[in-house]
Amino acid sequence: MTLVDQYEPGDARASSGGETRLFRCAHGSDAEYTAMARRAQTLWHQLEDESGEELLLKCGMVWFAQGEDGWEAASERTFAAQGIPCARLDVAEASTLYPSFRGDDLAFVLLELEGGVLRAERSIRTLAAQAVSQGARILRGRARPEGAAVVLEDSTRLEADVVIWACGPWLPELFPDLVSLRVTQQELLFFDGGPDWRRPGIPAWCDYDLSWYGTADVDAFGVKAATDAEGPPLDADADLPTTTRTEADVRAYMHVRFPALADARLVGTRSCRYEITADTHFIAAPHPAQPSVWVVGGGSGHGFKHGPAMAERIAIAIASGTTLPAEFSLGEQPGSQSLRTASSSRTD
Ligand SMILES: Cc1cc2nc3c(=O)[nH]c(=O)nc-3n(C[C@H](O)[C@H](O)[C@H](O)COP(=O)(O)OP(=O)(O)OC[C@H]3O[C@@H](n4cnc5c(N)ncnc54)[C@H](O)[C@@H]3O)c2cc1C
């Protein structure tokens, strides 16, 4: 197997770049994505066992329910059907989870007991190292498709039984007639919450209806808080901005939810690219003119955790000559309930 990438594994310019990602099984009433995340959890643990690296921190994952019968209640029903452990907490119970918490606007809180945080860059580097240890070779270079083949900048031509183009935000420029993605700039802010927020076991959190998410202070990078609302367009090859445009909004949300953090010192900011499909479903389908070529991507701000389970499904489909469900097909798809968070409004 040959892996080609223009950057080193874990590079911050890839959509997978950055220190952490939320790991959650909750996908509202969508049973398929719920089960896929659950399968991915097993496969992440398998990678941990094989590599000896701790990649998935099981600190729990909390959902702040603005209403009695929204995304969180639907997720709870899906969990019950699939035997995924969770707990419904009232606001007083939830306040024991965090060093500072306010939930007077909430109907309830859903705790995914086995959710948590993935160490993103470390996971990518570990995965690449494991692939190499099992015989894969990694080539550095920018590639383009030529029929069913792969051509690198130095004119090296690669041919294979199967070629998979999993190119994140770069997919639309490689396959302009097949892939339509909105590539946006998203910000992550890190705050100094002090030692209380570095305790292990503080759950990651998401407010689906208001489109906010974050983590405790993992690995001393600071308490992470970010809006999931779609940021401004950003070309796949443009430099990632180093200044922040969302700090005031993040602080306003902290004031509502984690009051002690509202004025905390900002210790870091990162930018990353979302590559968003119209319906927030992933893309994984064979090229219509080249059946040995697959196009994979459209992580839509929630793809990281699913990586190993998607890869497994794709491998099975290729080996068995089948295709994946229609929601992963190429071309423009109609919009549906967002699998990321409710809001897609811009924050520029
Ligand atoms: C700020 C932010 C927060 C997120 N939060 C979460 C979260 O909490 N949970 C979650 O599950 N997901 C989350 N996501 C989404 C998730 O990280 C992405 O959907 C996922 O990592 C995309 O992975 P990918 O492999 O498809 O793309 P990428 O990581 O972008 O990988 C594509 C690779 O292809 C290479 N490449 C592209 N074109 C070429 C070419 N022509 N030649 C050679 N190499 C090429 C690139 O260099 C890159 O390494 C978040 C994303 C961002 C930006």
**Which atom of ligand 1 is nearest the CA belonging to 187?**
1
How high is the pLDDT of residue 58?
97
pLDDT at 335: 65
- Tokens linked to 57: 């921190």
Question: Cα separation of 15 and 21, whole Å?
Answer: 11
Pocket test for ligand 1, best of 39, 302, 341 (most atoms within 8 A of CB): 302
Report the alpha-carbon angle 54-56-57, nearest 5. 90
Query: What is the CB neighbour count within 10 angstroms for residue 85?
Result: 11
Ligand 1 binding pocket mutation candidate from 5, 15, 139, 328 (most atoms within 8 A of CB): 15
For residue 22, how far is its CA from the centre of ligand 1 (angstroms)? 14
What confidence score (pLDDT) does residue 10 get? Answer: 95
State residue 340's pLDDT score: 80
Residue 270: CB atoms within 10 A of its CB come to 20
Distance 138 CA to ligand 1 centre (A): 18
What is the number of the ligand 1 atom nearest to the C-alpha of 20?
Answer: 8
pLDDT for residue 345: 47
CA-to-CA dists, residue 134 to 75, 164, 165, 307, 328, angstroms: 37, 19, 21, 19, 29
Q: Is the Cβ atom of 140 under 6 angstroms away from ligand 1?
A: no
Q: What is the mean pLDDT of each run of 10 residues along the chain (348 residues)?
A: 97 96 97 98 98 98 97 98 98 98 98 98 98 97 98 97 98 96 97 98 97 98 97 96 95 98 97 94 96 97 97 98 93 74 59
Ligand 1 geometric centre to CA of 167 (Å): 8
Beta carbons within 10 angstroms of residue 51's beta carbon = 17
Out of 11, 272, 304, give the residue to mutate to test ligand 1, the one with the largest number of ligand atoms within 8 Å of its CB.
Answer: 304
* Cα–Cα nearest to 257, from 295, 213, 196, 299: 213
CA of 173 from ligand 1 middle (Å) equals 15
Which ligand 1 atom is at minimum distance from the Cα of 213? 8
Q: Which tokens hold the place of 30?
A: 């969508």
CB atoms under 10 Å from CB of 81, counted, come to 12
State whether the beta carbon of 33 lies less than 6 angstroms from ligand 1: no
174 CA to middle of ligand 1, Å?
15
In contact, 79 and 42? CB cutoff 8 Å = no
**Cβ neighbours of residue 104 closer than 8 Å, sequence gap 6 or more:** 91
8 Å CB contact between 81 and 35:
no
Q: Exposed, middle or buried, 303 (CB in 10 Å: 0-12/13-18/19+)?
A: buried
Categorise residue 301: left if φ over 0, alpha if ψ from -120 to 50, beta otherwise. left
16 lines ligand 1 (CB under 6 A): yes
Nearest residue by C-alpha to atom 15 in ligand 1: 301
